[in-house]
Structure 1
Amino acid sequence: MVMQSEPIIRRKLSDEVFARLKALIETGELQPGDEMPSERMLMERFQVGRPAIREAMQALANMGLIEISHGERAKVLQPTARSLLRQVDAAAKIMLAASSDSLEHLKSARIFFERGMVREAASRADAGDIAALEETLKRQQAALEDSDAFIAADMAFHTRIAQISGNPIYTAVSEAMLSWLKEYHTEMLIWTGRENVTLTEHEEIIDCIRRGNPDEAEQAMIRHLERSRTLYAPKGR
């Protein structure tokens, strides 16, 4: 019988510290809102130096498990869909920058996602939801001379539709996709009269949601996103 080689890999001290601290959070010994032990306490507990502790703590922060504030003890965070998706922000933007196909795939995925979200909104929206959408539209109408504010209100409008579902994962996905697309928003294409088309389309979507018609809401959203997908283009184009 031939034995395959199975080398034992020695881990860095910071990796070992990270694993132990992560286990404390996973087992509930450290709860969301709890302060992490001080660096000195951790150095004494694990018998390692300060660099290993700091590297491990930064790794935990990068995972969204703790929050590090200057001059204060780090605190354990409650993981959320939003914090989890934020961890892939940098990688997602690199992927999009590396391939125009990835941007097109993201735009198609957004249309598929928002078709479902607006159907859900048309089925579930109450008077408060409609009022919130109308208020967001008013903000956008007031921002015709400010492209940054106009785009921010546009993003808020679409995320508000996702919020009507009551599912925080849908809301987080909406926020993530819109933030990734924002990097490719071509302002030159907006400020040529098309901003008024966007406002009209948003009004139509709200009307369909108000009337509780999922089919018409879906078709209105598809028309809106298919028309506006040209507003997102690779940089330099």
Structure 2
Amino acid sequence: MASASDPIVRRKLSDEVFDRLKLMITSGDLQPGDAMPSERDLMERFGVGRPAIREAMQALSKIGLLTISHGERAKVRLLTARSIFQQVDQSAHIMLATSRDSLEHLKEARRFFERGMVRDAAKKASAREVEGLRATLERQRQSLGEAEAFITADMRFHTQIAAVSGNPIFEAVSEAMLGWLRQYHTDMLIWTGKEKYTLTEHEEILRHIAAHDADAAEQAMVKHLDRSASLYIHQAG
């Protein structure tokens, strides 16, 4: 909170425009999918020039509130847990690339997170969700020797486990962490021939989820993650 002795700071015009446009979106005046007013309309409405409008629009795009396409009016974007995490993807990749400790911290965070997710899945999973996991595991089995397809199915298996919670934030967290780790995973998995170990461990995890045995599911997940942790290698430099 500003005090009486603080200097008065003149705000940039684009900051004022940003606040007004954001209010139009967050108040519901503009709904997801709606086109924003034209630049000319906004210039006349706010009494500012085109640069202030464009700078404010770009700032709204960076935080995920707008989608800007060349030659089209900007559109209001539906914010979801997934889209919010996508906004930090580039920063996360830079952090991991420049810090070996960050990769270890991420692996530790994933281990803690997935222990809780698999316990929850073992308690809640419906027959349909178990079948969905089984179908993903089969796709992974059919992708042996195909790195990209195998890793995609691997990630999907873990994200589906998180999705059993019914909480989209958990699902988005799982998807984000696995995406950040992916660049450290693919080549090592194929070069070291560990695909079959992964399949066996996934089968064990699924078996305990289907049996609704939370303790056994957690133990199987911990064993899987501790074994596979060595496959994620920092490759900076």
Q: Secondary structure at the match of 2:145?
A: coil
Q: Secondary structure at the match of 1:32?
A: coil
Shift in Å, 1:44: 1.1
CA contact (8 A) 1:198 1:224 kept: yes
Q: Matched residues in 1 for 2:186 and 2:32: separation?
A: 41
Residues 174-216 of structure 1, C-alpha deviation per residue, up to 9 Å, x if partnerless? 0111111112225134333210000010111110101110000
Partner of 1:122: 122
Q: Matched residues in 2 for 1:233 and 1:186: separation?
A: 10
CA contact (8 A) 2:81 2:172 kept: yes
Structure 1 residue runs without a partner (length 5+): none
Give TM-score scaled by structure 2 length: 0.93
Question: Which stretch shifts more, 88-97 or 120-129?
Answer: 88-97
Partner of 1:35: 35
1:102 is the counterpart of 2:98: no
Partner of 2:147: 147
Q: Secondary structure at the match of 2:78?
A: coil
Q: Matched residues in 2 for 1:4 and 1:34: separation?
A: 42
Residues 131-157 of structure 1, C-alpha deviation per residue, up to 9 Å, x if partnerless? 111111111111112111111111111
Question: Which stretch shifts more, 183-192 or 123-132?
Answer: 183-192
Structure 2 residue runs without a partner (length 5+): none
Partner of 2:214: 214
Shift in Å, 1:53: 1.1
Letter of the aligned partner of 2:95 in structure 1?
M
Shift in Å, 1:124: 0.7
Shift in Å, 1:236: 4.9
Letter of the aligned partner of 2:169 in structure 1?
I
CA contact (8 A) 1:33 1:75 kept: yes
CA contact (8 A) 2:35 2:75 kept: yes
Question: Which stretch shifts more, 64-73 or 224-233?
Answer: 64-73
Q: Count residues in correspondence.
A: 235
Partner of 2:61: 61
Supply the RMSD in Å over aligned alpha carbons: 1.7
Shift in Å, 1:219: 0.3
